[in-house]
Amino acid sequence: MNNLLIKNVRVVDAKKNLKSDVLVENGKISKIDSNINIENINCIDGKNYVLMPAFIDLHTHLRDPGLTHKEDLESGQKAALKGGFTVLCPMANTKPACDNKETMEYILNKSKELDLCEIKQVCAITKNLEGQEMIDIESMRTYTDLFSDDGYTLHNEKIMKEALELSRNLNFKVLTHCQPEYEIVNRDLKLLKEVGGNLHICHISLKDTLEEIKKYKNEGFKFTCEVGPHHIFGYGLDYKVNPSFAEEEDMKYLIQGIKDGYIDMIGTDHAPHTEEDKKNGSPGISNIEVAFQMVNKVFSENNIKLSKLSEMMSYNPAKLLGLDQGLIEEGLRADLVLVDEEYEESIDTSKFISKGKNNPFNGQRVKGKVLMTIKNGKIMYDIKGDM
């Protein structure tokens, strides 16, 4: 196992902001101290840089199996590492859909062989994501605790209710894709109030939706929600994403909702497509490589601290997934990202590792840069040497 010493770095996570050295041994953070000196160790000079917990994406699309012309497990994970992510939760809308053990095992085994990111694969709730017949959740529960028909809205209220009830009994999360957004969120929160369960609301974009979420959170109901980087970065764009780009008022309300603590995490909803598929109306944005930069720009312009970004992109997702990471603390897994917080550049989709170059913000300025991504104490991405 590679041991690392990161010197003179600013350490930022959801709970701290301090100058220190960080020692990584045997895949874990073993010491955080102001002056650690060890000979014969891979030493990284972190001066003028920030060390944060690596990012965790609760909502991504890797298109493998079946749609590998858009993305595959290797290209998607390498893109993620470049963006500072070490844990991904890929959605089940592959071909065939990930609703059975064969597809699930293919994804998990291939990812294990690649040894890039940690994959927490999401399983479909209904057969072939058709919203008609619930899969055997209990048998798939051995592989995952994340279930979603994302890519499609689960319009069948009876199945949604049953899934929430089961989520309580079998201890798994139901990730809901809501379109029409306000109506489905309203329905799902009513069901949560009625039967309980473990609900996570994907990619919200509207003021009305957030108002509904606030109402239930203020009443003490426990559930989580996410926003995509693009929905706080831009508005009013005629560019097809699900949910659609909203208005400036909606975007500003979401940013305020982040400040007030009502939105729990950032989920990229990285959805790569070929140029041809995009022209033919496929909804989605390729953004996992620039998600941190997009969010960092929005946060810095709205006086939201980097520690809040870390809370939403690392700590809260780690908590939801039950991972021993998400903070920089002795004894936790050394999944870390070294960033230049102040670096500014323009998005250049031609440099994306992802097969998907579909991003409407190509050429726009962003802030921050991932310099290095470390997983289990091992350097997985280094800007100097790329992958």
Tokens of 169: 């009994």
From residue 114, how far is each of 56, 69, 107, 385 by CA, in Å?
18, 18, 11, 19
Closest C-alpha to 292, from 363, 334, 245, 233:
233
Please tell me the distance from the alpha carbon of residue 98 to that of residue 110, in angstroms, as a whole number: 14
- Find the length of the chain: 387
Backbone angles phi, psi at 278, to 5 degrees: -65, -45
Please tell me the distance from the alpha carbon of residue 141 to that of residue 134, in angstroms, as a whole number: 13
* Burial of 251: CB neighbours in 10 Å, binned 0-12, 13-18, 19+: buried
DSSP string, 31-95: EEES----SSSEEEE-TT-EEEEPEEEEEE---TTT-TTT--HHHHHHHHHHTTEEEEEE-S-SS
Ramachandran bin of 227, using left for φ above 0, alpha for ψ from -120 to 50, beta for the remaining angles: beta
Bridge partners of 337, per DSSP, are 52, 373
Contact 85, 113 (CB under 8 A): no
Whether 269 is a known active-site residue: answer: yes
From residue 69, how far is each of 76, 95, 362, 369 by CA, in Å?
12, 12, 21, 28
Identified catalytic residue from 269, 324, 335, 340: 269
Please tell me the distance from the alpha carbon of residue 292 to that of residue 223, in angstroms, as a whole number: 24
Bridge partners of 366, per DSSP, are 345
Helix, strand, or coil (residue 179): coil
Tokens of 202: 């994907």
Catalytic residue numbers read 269
